[in-house]
């Protein structure tokens, strides 16, 4: 047995080292993010939302990106949850609003009916600060309330009591609101319908299977029918195949988003695409999906 002892010690040491480095990595992420905010390492890309009937781009969602000085791109799925846990998310949201403030006026000057949507986390909806920030944003020259929308996840909305009030205040400014990633929570549309929102975005998980025999496709249809009853606009997320778009359009879904139409892109690319569209007011380079 004594021959195994050194091996056990080595394995133990390696495990300990791995654990330590993992803890260091997770603990230091907020610290690194704080520095990254100061060093301007965050930027925005915009993913179009398409009218499924006409194929025109009617709005776009602002999606945050983090580029490290060495060129590494860190996905929001990795750092947004860490930012939420560490209380840094409100700083991130402020940066997003600053970036929109800097980039959007050129867009709205040429496409006055276009809309940009901004993702909000539970912490943003827990205090009235974001309402104040959004009001400031709409007070900027070249940004009107009808040019903006917010997206809040089901989980975010249910996190604290204040979200209902904050959401109502945001809509009172004339800014639209959507429930994001709909279907991934357990609260049900009838309950969420008591929140003041204009639309809901059906999560990609349910869109993946539409047009197939998979049972989750029934869930999508059910969500669509309930949204109609509540008179909510529906946006289908993560559409990758024409058959999905066709199916959803046939069910009366008005809007779609996904790689079939366009991936997220920097503002200059979005502007160029909108400018070159046949109908400059709200078009995109991608033609209709029929």
Residues that bind ligand C2E (CB under 6 A): 47, 63-64, 75-77, 80, 96, 119, 121, 151, 180-181, 237-240, 257-259, 264
* Helices 129-139, 162-172: inter-axial angle, 10-degree rounding: 10
**Least Cβ distance, residue 280 to ligand C2E (angstroms):** 25
Asked whether the beta carbons of 122 and 84 are under 8 A apart, the reply is yes
Selected binder of Mg ion within 90, 119, 121, 147 (CB under 5 A): 119
Report if residue 84 touches Mg ion, rule: CB under 5 A: no
In the bound complex, which residue of the shown chain has the CB atom lying closest to ligand C2E? Answer: 258
Contacting range for Mg ion; rule: CB under 5 A; set: 43-51, 131-139, 195-203, 221-229:
195-203
47 binds, among ligand C2E, Mg ion, none (CB under 5 to 8 A by kind): ligand C2E
217 binds, among ligand C2E, Mg ion, none (CB under 5 to 8 A by kind): none
Binding mask 174-193 for Mg ion (x = CB under 5 A): ------xx------------
Query: How does strand 42-51 pair with strand 57-67?
Result: antiparallel
Whichever of 62 and 107 has its CB closer to Mg ion, that residue is 62
63 binds, among ligand C2E, Mg ion, none (CB under 5 to 8 A by kind): ligand C2E
Instruction: Provide the residue count of the chain.
Output: 290
Whichever of 143 and 239 has its CB closer to ligand C2E, that residue is 239
30 binds, among ligand C2E, Mg ion, none (CB under 5 to 8 A by kind): none
Binding mask 226-245 for Mg ion (x = CB under 5 A): -----------x--------
75 binds, among ligand C2E, Mg ion, none (CB under 5 to 8 A by kind): ligand C2E
Report if residue 208 touches Mg ion, rule: CB under 5 A: no
Report if residue 59 touches Mg ion, rule: CB under 5 A: no
Report if residue 154 touches Mg ion, rule: CB under 5 A: no
Residues within the interface to Mg ion (CB under 5 A): 119, 151, 180-181, 201, 237
């Amino acid at each position: 047995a004594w021959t195994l002892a050194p091996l056990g010690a080595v394995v133990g040491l390696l495990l300990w080292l791995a654990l330590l480095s993992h803890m260091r990595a997770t603990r230091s992420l907020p610290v690194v993010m704080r520095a990254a905010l100061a060093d301007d390492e965050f930027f925005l890309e915009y993913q179009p939302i398409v009218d499924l009937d006409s194929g025109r781009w009617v709005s776009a969602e602002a999606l945050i990106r983090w580029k490290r000085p060495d060129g590494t791109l860190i996905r929001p799925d990795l750092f947004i949850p860490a930012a939420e846990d560490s209380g840094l998310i409100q700083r991130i949201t402020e940066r997003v609003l600053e970036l929109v403030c800097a980039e959007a006026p050129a867009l709205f000057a040429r496409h006055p009916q276009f809309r940009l949507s901004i993702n909000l986390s539970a912490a943003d909806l827990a205090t009235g600060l974001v309402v104040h920030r959004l009001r400031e944003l709409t007070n900027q020259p070249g940004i009107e309330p009808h040019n903006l929308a917010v997206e809040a996840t089901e989980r975010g909305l249910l996190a604290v009591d204040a979200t209902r009030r904050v959401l109502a205040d945001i809509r009172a400014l004339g800014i639209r609101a959507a429930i994001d990633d709909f279907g991934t929570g357990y609260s049900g549309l009838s309950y969420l319908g008591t929140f003041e929102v204009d639309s809901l975005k059906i999560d990609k998980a349910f869109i993946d299977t539409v047009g197939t025999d998979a049972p989750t496709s029934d869930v999508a249809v059910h969500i669509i029918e309930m949204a109609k009853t509540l008179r909510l606009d529906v946006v289908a997320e993560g559409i990758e195949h024409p058959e999905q778009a066709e199916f959803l359009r046939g069910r009366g879904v008005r809007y779609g988003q996904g790689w079939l139409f366009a991936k997220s892109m920097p503002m200059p690319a979005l502007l160029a695409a909108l400018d070159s569209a046949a109908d400059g007011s709200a078009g995109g380079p991608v033609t209709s999906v029929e």
